[in-house]
Amino acid sequence: MTGEELLVVGKPLRRVDALDKVTGQGIYTGDLKFPDMLHAKVKRSEHAHARILRIETSEAESLPGVIRIFTSKDVPGENNVGVIVPDQPVFAEDTVRHYGDAVAMVVAESEDLVRKAVDLIKVDYDVMPGVFDPEEAMLPNSPLVHPDGKYGNEGNVLSKMGYEKGDVEKGFRDADIIVEEEYRPGYQEHAFIETERCIATSDGRNVTVYGSLQCPFYVRDAVAGALGIPRARIRIIQTAIGGAFGGKEDVPSELCARAALAAYILRRPVRKIRSREDSIVMHTKRHPMIIRHRLGATREGELVAARVEIISDQGAYCSVGKYVQKRAMVHACGAYDIPNSKVDTSFVYTNNILTGAFRGFGGPQVAVASELQMDELARRLGMDPLKLRLKNIVEKGGITAKGQNLDNCGKGLRECIEKAANVSQWDEKRDAYEKFNEKMKHSSTGTLNIRKGIGMSSIMYGVALGGPTPDSATSTCQITEDGSVIITTGGTEMGQGAKTVLSQIAAEAVGVPLHYVTILDADTSIVQNSGPSVASRITPVIGEATRRGAKEAVSEISNLACKLLGVNRVRSVIAPDGTPFSVPADAMVKKADIDKFPDKVDYHELVRSCYGEAKLLLGVGFCSTPTLLENGEYRDYYTYSFACHIAEVEVDMDTGRVMVKKLTCANDVGKAINPQTVEGQIEGGAVQGMGYGLMEELVTLNGRILNPSLVDYHIPTSLDAPQITPLIIEEHDSFGPYGAKGIGEPSLIPTPAAVLNAVGHAIGLAVRKTPASPENVWRAIRDHR
Amino acid sequence: MGADVKKNRLKVQYVLNGVLISTMVDTGRRLIDQLRDTHGLGSVKEGCGTGECGACTTLVDGKGMCSCILLVPQINGKEITTLEGITTGEILHPVQEKFIEEGAVQCGYCTPGMIMSAVQLLSDNPEPSEDEIRLALSGNLCRCTGYSKIIRAVQAAAKALSKEGN
Ligand code: FES
Ligand code: FES
């Protein structure tokens, strides 16, 4: 792979699914039709914490067209789901623990009917006191969410994790300056434009579920558990997905378990489409965190110690909370070389909406704290934030704040920072905006009272699941008689471009043009469990399995080509008309001259000959991430990708309104398999991150979400989104296919902090309560006066 | 509106993607359901059902409207265009072409509505500025792309259309 010219990888080729999507022909779950299909909707809890005394369904049942109403009593298997601990009921049994709990489900002939019938279900509750603040929840006498402690929880504390490296006390004693602040990054709602949905069918023995889902194997396991039937009798088929971002990771488990239950018992197709309100009220959110961050440095700006304490609101159920916790812990001190560091984290049950997977997995929250700390430190030292960062970043051969030896990566960060600073003209603008602001302070004209700011944030991101969690993927590649290629993997296309990227990897490995490759949709009865489509692991991990499978599938073809050409190694050249040929590996021939080049064999001939000689053209690719070290210890993550985002803003001092004018986003992706889709990931992630830092605010009162609609919960529109300059940095990784690392999450993680730091630069003080909404910015300005 | 009312059912007429339709509907029938379920036009997507997201944007007499908050009787006598109606056979509309070329599509769920808003913009204003494009698309939420490539696609489509026109 080194030195050789790549045929397909690294090119901004058109997405394989684009044509379907621009013509409206893509099949999403809502586009599937089955004869005799029923509809389903749940009755949500009406309290944050209560005992269920009675569920009265007779009136709802008497509506003509209502087929049946399901409650916990109808679940034949386990009435619990949960990827880490099974603490979330399919249907609430005797207790509801948050407003999103499902108490019952109506199945009826039409959508209209299910809505009507749900309103006719009456539930008597004995309301119990709830707990809505994670710090209160840790106090001895607070109401308990899971009183029996079954899930490893102590009181309401689901889990504690932490580490200490070096001698933190001594570190702070040696510091000339200490910055100590509290940050409160809040919830974030995924707001995918397509809400969660699925359709289940069953003949009373086998069950098939079609759905908008990120992790089909999570769903399979949840359905098997709820129905009490073997996994082999369950088939989960992924349709096109209208956005996921972590919000369709484990969320579909409960949804699909309920639909599957109804289909299994009624033997009719059952469709469940969440309304926007059900979606926002019921599914996991980004974890809000209280982060107390203490950072010590020398007068020269060298970091010597960090102490971070994180308390996070887990809501009523664990979901993937402990994974988020681990990631938050490892990344809590940022991308810096800090000799002494100590981090403690507590994730705490409350009666609020449960929190779970969201692009970044705790990364954006801890970056808000660590990156605002860096700017605060820079301010106090009178130093340029860029220089302070460059002085302290961890680089190849160094040791992360958590203590991992960066022996295999670490050049990308400096490159990201320098490139982003250059392109955004950091030095010039920092200066110019300060002058502008100074002038504005003294101008008393009737013009808008505007301040300008430019701010940055730089991060590292542990790619894939991280040790010691097993992280492997499987993929098969089959080369058919006409030379076309079929790939299976358990990875899912959710809009990020997985199918295109995996197609490019397979095409490159086989040596054929992109359109030869077809990636099958994930179907648990056909594809292998490749682990979840999370943690930015599709390109590096599932992609590597795909590359290996494709290499194996093409090996007989290469052997035959070697024999015919009388050489030991061959490579592929694709002629201008698209025909692939094998040529000796060292042949000096360009694609344009291939016609006149004698030493070549047509790929199609090779395929035919292989089939004629009864050779197997099938490959199974398997890989697992190299997190295990020789000494038996695990790396936190097998590699890191790096990023630096720079934001430019204008702040209206009278209203607190912030406009983000520009984002310059440098992301190290190892190798951009498809630069256009990488740019798309960077731009989309950055705007989602900007939304989190700037405007997205989920308002809750005693566990109730007060703004469960897209009118009241604002995500960025085309008017809010700024100019974005994506910059691709490539520090090749030795494990990933063609050097690739992940991009899904590090595209979002630095942006909120970059925006907040730009606001800080503009108004001369930090906004630590996010988002930087007009209200929060205005308050910060007022409190300072 | 000249429609016959009979037991909550109405006779309505409209032109859908160039074809005259004359049919009886329930008075409360939403346009989006009529398009998706009766006419099988799967491009019309539902993201909220309350006029918030723009995924269901459909042209009504050339104006982009949320079909999830329109009732079929309201479009009596009007001309309706969906994404299916802007392609001619196999030939894509320049906006569709450029959405593919510029990489403006990710999950694709907002795409049909987004394209319809862009088509309306370019027919009203063949040379829109970037600000005008941003304004015209501001009723169509996209959670995937950050809008950059969508805006570039619309700019490229405007150029392509003006060449075609010459
Ligand atoms: S579905 Fe019509 S605006 Fe959202
Ligand atoms: S492409 Fe997914 S919402 Fe726009």
Span A56-83, average pLDDT: 97
pLDDT per 10-residue tile (average), chain B, 166 residues:
65 97 96 98 97 98 98 98 92 97 98 98 98 98 98 98 81
From chain B, the residues in CB contact with A41 under 8 A are none
What's the A316 CA to ligand 1 centre distance in angstroms?
Answer: 31
Please tell me which residue, A674 or A2, carries the higher pLDDT value. A674
Q: Is the Cβ pair B146, A194 closer than 8 Å?
A: no
Span A355-373, average pLDDT: 98
**In 10 A of CB B26, how many CB atoms?**
15
Which position has the token pair 């040929």?
A581
Q: Are A285 and A708 in contact (CB under 8 A)?
A: no
pLDDT tens readout for residues A76-114 = 999 999 999 999 999 999 999 999 999 999 999 999 999
Strand partners for A705? A700
CA distance A288 to A356: 10
- Name the DSSP letter for residue A540: I
CB pairs under 8 A between A and B: 167
* Ligand 2 close to Cβ of residue B142 (< 6 A): yes
Helix axes B111-124, B148-165, angle to 10 degrees: 40
Mutation pick for ligand 1 pocket among B36, B65, B68 (CB with most ligand atoms within 8 Å): B68
- pTM here is 0.97
CA distance A455 to A199: 46
From chain B, the residues in CB contact with A717 under 8 A are 137-139, 141, 147
* Ligand 1 close to Cβ of residue B112 (< 6 A): no
Q: Which amino acid residue places its CA nearest to atom 3 of ligand 1?
A: B51
* Ligand 1 close to Cβ of residue B56 (< 6 A): yes
CA distance A146 to A157: 10
- Say yes or no: B149 contacts chain A, CB-CB below 8 A: yes
CA distance A660 to A646: 11
Q: Are A526 and A488 in contact (CB under 8 A)?
A: yes
Supply the CATH classification number for the domain B3-78. 3.10.20.30
Residue of B nearest to A276 (CA): B48
pLDDT value, residue A1: 38
From chain A, the residues in CB contact with B103 under 8 A are 12, 14-15, 18, 676-677, 679-680
From chain B, the residues in CB contact with A31 under 8 A are 42
- Say yes or no: B148 contacts chain A, CB-CB below 8 A: yes
Percent of chain A at pLDDT > 90 equals: 95
Helix, coil or strand: residue A568? coil
pLDDT value, residue B77: 98
pLDDT value, residue B6: 59
Using 50, 70 and 90 to split pLDDT, how confident is the model at A156? very high
Best residue in A20, A22, A709 to probe B by mutation, most B CBs within 10 Å? A22
Q: Domain coordinates of chain B in residue numbers?
A: 3-78, 94-165
Q: Give how far B53 is from chain A: nearest CA, Å.
A: 7
Q: Are B111 and A22 in contact (CB under 8 A)?
A: yes
| Cis bond upstream, residue A185 (ω within 30) | no
CA distance A487 to A521: 9
* Structural tokens at position A587: 């042949």
* Ligand 1 close to Cβ of residue B141 (< 6 A): no
Average pLDDT, chain A: 96
pLDDT tens readout for residues A247-279 = 999 999 999 999 999 999 999 999 999 999 999
pLDDT value, residue A182: 97
Span A384-399, average pLDDT: 97
Find residues 17-36 of chain B whose CB sits inside 8 Å of chain A. Answer: none
Q: Give how far A699 is from chain B: nearest CA, Å.
A: 18
- Say yes or no: B114 contacts chain A, CB-CB below 8 A: no
pLDDT tens readout for residues A676-730 = 999 999 999 999 999 999 999 999 999 999 999 999 999 999 999 999 999 999 9
pLDDT tens readout for residues A480-497 = 999 999 999 999 999 999
pLDDT tens readout for residues A277-310 = 999 999 999 999 999 999 999 999 999 999 999 9
> Largest Cα–Cα distance in chain A?
88
Residue of B nearest to A681 (CA): B145
Alpha helices in A332-407 (DSSP H): 363-381, 385-392
pLDDT tens readout for residues A403-432 = 999 999 999 999 999 999 999 999 999 999
Span A624-635, average pLDDT: 92
Q: Is the dihedral of CA A773, A306, A687, A274 positive or negative?
A: negative
* Ligand 2 close to Cβ of residue B106 (< 6 A): yes
What's the A600 CA to ligand 1 centre distance in angstroms?
Answer: 56
pLDDT value, residue A71: 98
Closest CA to B153 of B111, B125, B91, B107: B111
CA distance A220 to A525: 10
- Say yes or no: B153 contacts chain A, CB-CB below 8 A: no
Amino acid letter for position A131: V
Q: Is the Cβ pair A194, B45 closer than 8 Å?
A: yes
Amino acid letter for position B159: K
Bridging pattern class, strands A207-211 and B63-66: unpaired
Percent of chain A at pLDDT > 70 equals: 99
CA distance B20 to B10: 16
pLDDT value, residue B1: 44
From chain A, the residues in CB contact with B110 under 8 A are 193
Helix, coil or strand: residue A666? strand
CA distance A364 to A328: 9
pLDDT value, residue A89: 98
Our CA angle for A483, A487, A491, nearest 5°, is: 160
Cβ partners under 8 Å of residue A742, min gap 6: A461, A463, A464, A535, A536, A537, A538, A539, A540, A641, A669
CA distance A677 to A16: 11
Which position has the token pair 């309401």?
A156
Helix axes A555-565, A603-612, angle to 10 degrees: 110
The closest CB to that of B148, out of A494, A709, A724, belongs to A724
Q: Domain coordinates of chain A in residue numbers?
A: 18-25+472-624, 32-128+196-273
Q: Give how far B65 is from chain A: nearest CA, Å.
A: 17
Alpha helices in A13-107 (DSSP H): 18-22, 58-61
Q: Which amino acid residue places its CA nearest to atom 2 of ligand 2?
A: B107
Bridging pattern class, strands A618-624 and A472-479: antiparallel
Burial class (CB in 10 A: 0-12, 13-18, 19+), A396: middle
Same fold, B3-78 and B94-165: no
DSSP for A192-244 reads -SSPPEEEEEESSS-EEEEE--S-HHHHHHHHHHHHT--GGGEEEEE-B-S--
What's the B107 CA to ligand 2 centre distance in angstroms?
Answer: 5
pLDDT tens readout for residues A224-249 = 999 999 999 999 999 999 999 999 99
A18-25+472-624 fold: Aldehyde Oxidoreductase; domain 4 (3.30.365)
pLDDT tens readout for residues A653-666 = 999 999 999 999 99
- Say yes or no: B110 contacts chain A, CB-CB below 8 A: yes
From chain B, the residues in CB contact with A716 under 8 A are 146-147
Nearest ligand to the C-alpha atom of residue A244: 2
Span A374-394, average pLDDT: 98
Q: Give how far A669 is from chain B: nearest CA, Å.
A: 18
B94-165 fold: DNA polymerase; domain 1 (1.10.150)
- Say yes or no: B141 contacts chain A, CB-CB below 8 A: yes
From chain A, the residues in CB contact with B48 under 8 A are 276, 709-710
* Structural tokens at position A487: 């790939």
The closest CB to that of A709, out of B52, B110, B145, belongs to B52
Burial class (CB in 10 A: 0-12, 13-18, 19+), A129: exposed
Cβ partners under 8 Å of residue A610, min gap 6: A556, A557, A560, A617
Closest CA to A287 of A343, A334, A356, A359: A356
Q: Which atom of ligand 1 is nearest to the CA of B51?
A: 3
Q: Which atom of ligand 1 is nearest to the CA of B46?
A: 1
CA distance A535 to A521: 20
Q: Are B145 and A245 in contact (CB under 8 A)?
A: no
Residue of A nearest to B56 (CA): A193
Q: Say if residue A2's pLDDT is above 60.
A: no
Q: Are B136 and B128 in contact (CB under 8 A)?
A: yes
Mutation pick for ligand 2 pocket among A28, A193, A496, A677 (CB with most ligand atoms within 8 Å): A193
Q: Which amino acid residue places its CA nearest to atom 4 of ligand 2?
A: B142
pLDDT value, residue A56: 98
From chain A, the residues in CB contact with B141 under 8 A are 191, 193, 710, 715, 717
pLDDT tens readout for residues A555-588 = 999 999 999 999 999 999 999 999 999 999 999 9
Cβ partners under 8 Å of residue A684, min gap 6: A747, B106, B143, B144, B145, B146
* Structural tokens at position B66: 């949320």
* Ligand 1 close to Cβ of residue B144 (< 6 A): no
* Ligand 2 close to Cβ of residue B146 (< 6 A): no
Q: Is the Cβ pair B47, A195 closer than 8 Å?
A: yes
DSSP for chain B reads --PPEETTEEEEEEEETTEEEEEEEETT-BHHHIIIIIS--TTS--S-SSSSS-TTEEEETTEEEEGGG-BGGGGTT-EEE-GGGT-BTTBPPHHHHHHHHTT--SS-SSHHHHHHHHHHHHHH-SS--HHHHHHHTTTS--SSS-SHHHHHHHHHHHHHHHHHH-
Q: Name the CATH superfamily housing domain A32-128+196-273.
A: Aldehyde oxidase/xanthine dehydrogenase, a/b hammerhead (3.90.1170.50)
Best residue in B37, B53, B91, B106 to probe A by mutation, most A CBs within 10 Å? B106
Q: Which atom of ligand 2 is nearest to the CA of B106?
A: 1
